Chain A
Amino acid sequence: MAGLYVHIPFCSHACPYCDFSFELLKDGRVDALLSALDTEAGRRGRESPWAGEVFDTVFLGGGTPTCLTDRQLDRVFRTIHDRFRVSPHAEITVEANPETISVAKLERLRGLGVDRISIGVQSFSRDLLLKLGRRHSADRAEEAFASAREAGFRNVNLDLMFGVPGQSAADWADTLERAVVLDPEHLSVYGLTIEPGTEYARLAEHGALDLPDEERHMALYFQALDRLSGAGYLQYEISNLAKPGFACRHNVSCWKGGDYLGLGPSAHSRMDGRRLANARGLADYLRAMDERGVAVDKDETLTVDERIHEYILLSLRSLDGLDTRLFRDRYGDDAMDARDPAIHALAGEGLLAKRGSRLCLTRRGLALADSVCEFLM
């Protein structure tokens, strides 16, 4: 059982906050990418450990996969099904932007086996959408959701973003309300992060972004958790909530340490203790595929400490928490016992709670997940 991730880096335009690997959409390059993906998939599908693997989750991320034409999307899925064995019960997710989907396109995706759609709504506030450089309106986002339902999607995620410049608690409450009314199965709520090298980073440096301070940012986060849990969503990860049974299986598996294969520029793969990363930019990726037939430019085998760190990082982000028994089995009693004082200190500060054999972040700890993880490293 493993996950398959395919990165489609194209977007119709650049968002000023985004630092994901993306390319502006140009037809010739899409075809070049699709050929390279097919080559990469062909090779991986024949190699250990992926040969014979049954993939039970597939995730098409980006970029904006839905900015591809129907023909291009067909080709992506042909590659996936030709080169790999995908479980008949697989969760297959495609990321989408509201302005790039129609009922027809969504029905076509359904026809390709896609059963989960993740829509990058970000906000239902017109002003904030403009600030975020998004091309869709709030109404368009609602229409997109309705289209997904009409096309038969019973598992829909909406991405929402808080901590956006100029965002008030009222704006955020309105966005949350409109999301709740739509009643999607899954919601991801992300704090805006200013990533180096982005347009936002440049603006922030000049003081041109009205970013909420730490306290307001945190208040917005808890506002979302409170409102959404009140509406029947269960938080299962720091930024993710879902109706019971609708947690994203692909991401959960990734956070639980499951193996996954990533294809396309900037895609990462996990093979037990190994971490591979493809060349990040499209041009580099295409050149590598052309010259070497593979695009991996980082291949590292984690040391025991690094595995422990990764486990801490991933397990604590999940609301199930860190399983101390599993930890002891995998990494030994010494590694666990050495962390006792730190655990004790964090528990004493109300950041970490013991639940049976599990260690979980408290509500306050959720906001400080990185610091807590670092403290335990």
Chain B
Amino acid sequence: MSTELIRNFSIIAHIDHGKSTLADRLLEMTGTVSPLKMRAQMLDNLDLERERGITIKAHAIRMSYDAPDGRSFALNLIDTPGHVDFSYEVSRSLAACEGALLIVDAVQGIEAQTISNLYLALENDLTIIPVINKIDLPNARVDVITGQIVDLLGVEPDEIVLTSARDGIGVEAVLQAILDRIPPPEPDDGPLRALIFDSIFDQYRGAVPYVRVVSGEIKPGMHIRMCANDKQFEVAETGVLRFDKAPVDALTAGEVGYLIGNIRNVADASVGDTVTDAARPCDAPLPGYREAKSMVFSGLYPTSSEEYEPLKEALEKYQLNDAALVYEPETSVALGFGFRCGFLGLLHMEVVQERLEREYGLTILATMPSVEYRITTTGGEVLMVDNPADMPDASYIDAVEEPFIQAQIVVPHDYIGNIMKLTRDRRGVYKAMEYLDPTRVALQYELPLAEIVFDFYDRLKSISRGYASFDYEFLEYRTSPLVRLNLLLNGDLVDALSIIIHKDKAYEWGRELCQRLRKIIPRQMFEVAVQAAIGGRVIARESIRPLRKNVTAKCYGGDITRKRKLLERQKEGKRRMKQVGNVEVPQEAFLAVLDIRGEGAAVGG
């Protein structure tokens, strides 16, 4: 079809600013789906997305729109994941578009994610259509928000579209702005180049990449080549994305759709890769491809050894739909056999764990999240360590570097003091502050990623009464005085409780951890020493008094069965405990550690 009649666009917004609702209205207005069939937030089709109100995977849909001037347009809405963890996917989705709707909540105004997503859109040279949504709300502050947007984007106030997506107000104006302002894609009949901006896995048809064709065309029968790994596939089907896949004869430059080519391995259809014609390859792939990089790591263990195989199968299946999840087998002395998993970020980690539990009926024990440290040994060797248990002894370490992030925090100015304190406690480096309007500021910090992987976001929310928003991107590796803190039970190392921590924080962490374990680990038949140590130096110690007596009551007739069953039940309960040396450690012990910062008691927080 003529590229003149195509518009490719995304919607970017901070969480809860109404992105999905506006998308729903656009689908209704264009007759793509009837209001009767409409489930709220049509595009968010994972249960978890619907519950959390966030988009986890990108989606795409094609709408047909008969404009008032009589022309019939194809509008491709390429939805973007709404979270910082998926910023790479966001950037690839944006790269498939010519324009973006930037939605700002009429009450909340500009938030951290608004800014970071806007920067991504601008990097991709997109035309931005600013939209103020929820103007129907009684406390809407359209004038103030207009001012914020004018300042941020340098647009005229009348370029901003006002909507209430919930009530359908202003949706036609949005459609008109898409036609008028977003440029159509450039026609280009050079060799095939198609950007993969998303990929799903169909158990019968394999990996199904969603592509934006930038040049040339793609049609069934041709052989394509993936630029990232040079693998070739024969195209079996091409089509556009309505609610179901709708096959078409070919996808030409400017179009958005899917292709099917018996791609069995999801890794062969990586987001960001370029598809080209095997017979007439392009000179160079489209810019910007990189492999999804794990930022946060955690060990996932089954709660009982019988669940190891089911967990393994669940991870295999899960990965088919989410190539960003990486994992490898790992063994812990304390927890047995499990998997070291790498995640894009915290939300990704939570989502994976939750979906594994929910969709595969597993109970998972997750170890403390870690980041990836770069360790230079005294021998000059460089090691990447994402599991504290793998950190070499201090005497072999020359330097430890940790990942730093660039963080955006947007907050009402009343809370600046709290934010400053929190970021200082988390070893943050203040960089800049900018007033978005007289009451809201955007703060920029550089922070160690390790300091935000626990509960930074929750703390941020609680010290700002929920008003602060936060976004981040990876900055660089920096040298820090980090040590490995070990936890010992009766002298035996509990590897799953080791952490890598800044040396100034080690003492408090160790003390808090020991105290917490003393409360959680039930008394045993012998005294249990709980120690925190750096290398051979014990820095904190607690002791769990031994259990001295059971009941010495009668045990006749029926008592025997009763007592046997009672002990069997207790024993069964303990089977779910983990054995460290001769100490039985309940699983809560491994989880409680995650709460240490949540209490805010130990490490500043």
Contact = CB atoms under 8 A, between A and B. Distances in A.
Interface of A: 5, 61, 188-191, 193, 214-215, 217-218, 221, 238-239, 251, 254-255, 260, 262, 266-268, 275, 277, 306, 309-310, 313-314, 317, 345-346, 349, 351, 366-375, 377
Interface residues of B, number: 24
Contact of A309 (B551, B553, B554, B567): B567
Contact of A268 (B552, B554, B557, B574): B557
Contacts of A275: 561
Contact of B564 (A193, A221, A254, A313): A313
Contacts of A188: 554
Nearest to A300: B561
B551 A191 contact: yes
B558 A215 contact: no
A317 B555 contact: yes
Nearest to B545: A214
Nearest to A266: B558
Contact of B552 (A221, A310, A349): A221
A187 B23 CA distance: 83
B571 A374 contact: yes
Given A310-B564, A370-B563, A377-B567, A254 B556 contact: yes
Q: Tell me the interface secondary structure of chain A in the complex.
A: helix
B550 A368 contact: yes
Given A190-B552, A238-B552, A254-B556, A368 B525 contact: yes
Contacts of A251: 556
B435 interface: no
Contact of A277 (B550, B552, B558, B567): B558
Given A377-B567, A377-B571, A349 B525 contact: yes
Contacts of A193: 551, 553
A368 B547 contact: yes
Given A191-B552, A215-B548, A310 B560 contact: yes
Given A239-B555, A267-B557, A371-B550, 6 more contacts: A267-B558, A310-B561, A349-B526, A368-B548, A370-B563, A374-B574
Contacts of B570: 374
Contacts of A217: 549
Contacts of A190: 552-554
Interface in B526-582: 526, 547-558, 560-561, 563-564, 567-568, 570-571, 574, 582
A313 B563 contact: yes
Q: Tell me the interface secondary structure of chain B in the complex.
A: loop
A47 to B, nearest CB: 19
Contacts of B582: 345
Nearest to B569: A374
A314 B555 CA distance: 9
A28 B552 CA distance: 37
B568 A309 contact: yes
Contacts of A351: 525
15 contacts: A193-B551, A217-B549, A218-B549, A221-B552, A238-B555, A239-B552, A251-B556, A254-B556, A268-B558, A313-B563, A314-B560, A345-B582, A349-B526, A351-B525, A373-B567
Interface in B471-493: none
A281 B384 CA distance: 68
A188 B552 CA distance: 11
Contacts of B560: 254, 268, 310, 313-314
B549 A367 contact: yes
B525 A371 contact: yes
Nearest to B566: A370
Contact of B557 (A5, A215, A313): A5
Contacts of B555: 238-239, 255, 317
Contacts of B552: 189-191, 221, 238-239, 366-367, 369
A313 B567 contact: yes
A271 B418 CA distance: 72
Rank and list the top 10 A-B pairs by shortest CB-CB distance, nearest first: A370-B550, A268-B558, A367-B549, A191-B552, A193-B553, A268-B557, A374-B567, A218-B549, A193-B551, A349-B526
A79 B73 CA distance: 99
A218 B547 CA distance: 11
B567 A214 contact: no
A254 B563 CA distance: 14
B526 A191 contact: no
Contacts of B568: 306, 309, 377
Contact of A346 (B525, B558, B574): B525
Interface string B262-282: 000000000000000000000
A255 B567 CA distance: 17
Given A191-B551, A239-B552, A369-B550, A262 B557 contact: yes
Nearest to B584: A375
B573 to A, nearest CB: 10
A262 to B, nearest CB: 6
Among the interface residues B547, B553, B570, which one has the most CB atoms of the partner chain A within 10 A? B553
A235 to B, nearest CB: 11
Interface string B215-250: 000000000000000000000000000000000000
Contacts of B564: 306, 309-310, 313
B526 A214 contact: no
Among the interface residues A251, A349, A370, which one has the most CB atoms of the partner chain B within 10 A? A370
Contacts of B548: 214-215, 218, 367-368
Contact of B554 (A239, A260, A375): A239
A218 B582 CA distance: 24
B525 A214 contact: no
Contact of A260 (B557, B563, B567, B571): B557
Among the interface residues B526, B547, B560, which one has the most CB atoms of the partner chain A within 10 A? B560
Contacts of A191: 549, 551-553
Contact of B561 (A268, A346, A369, A370): A268
A371 B551 CA distance: 10
Contacts of B557: 5, 254, 260, 262, 267-268
